[in-house]
Amino acid sequence: MGKKQKKVSSPMPKSAPKADSDNGLTLKDLLSSEMLNKLKAQADEMKQTEAARKEDLRKQEEEKKKQEQKRLENDFSYLLENSDPNWSKHK
């Protein structure tokens, strides 16, 4: 019980090299301009694909709402429950 346990050293050595900020290089500097252009084009394509997917989802939701409204308009009990009880203004 009186024994002291050794401290466990961290897995990262203290003399680990720091990021490239020491020598001022960035990822943009390290990559070729051709590779940067490819990555930018791929990012743009992914954004367009995501926008198209969101637009498709929006259209599907809109179509579902239209179909539900059409179904409800043909449901007589729904129309009775949700119609205006003041029929005098429809004369």
For 11-68, write each residue's pLDDT tens digit.
555 544 455 455 778 877 888 888 889 999 999 999 999 999 999 999 999 999 999 9
Angle (nearest 5°) at CA 47 between 41 and 53: 135
- Any domain includes 64: yes
In order of 24, 31, 75, 80, the CA distances from 67 in angstroms are 60, 52, 13, 19
- Any domain includes 54: yes
Number of domains in the chain: 1
pLDDT band at 78 (very low <50, low <70, confident <90, very high): confident
Q: Exposure string (b/e) for 54-72, b if CB count within 10 Å is 16 or more?
A: eeeeeeeeeeeeeeeeeee
- Any domain includes 89: no
- Any domain includes 75: yes
What residues make up the domain containing 56?
27-83
Give the single-character DSSP code of 11. Answer: S
Are the CB atoms for 44 and 38 separated by under 8 Å?
Answer: no
- Any domain includes 65: yes
**pTM exceeds 0.75 for this model:** no
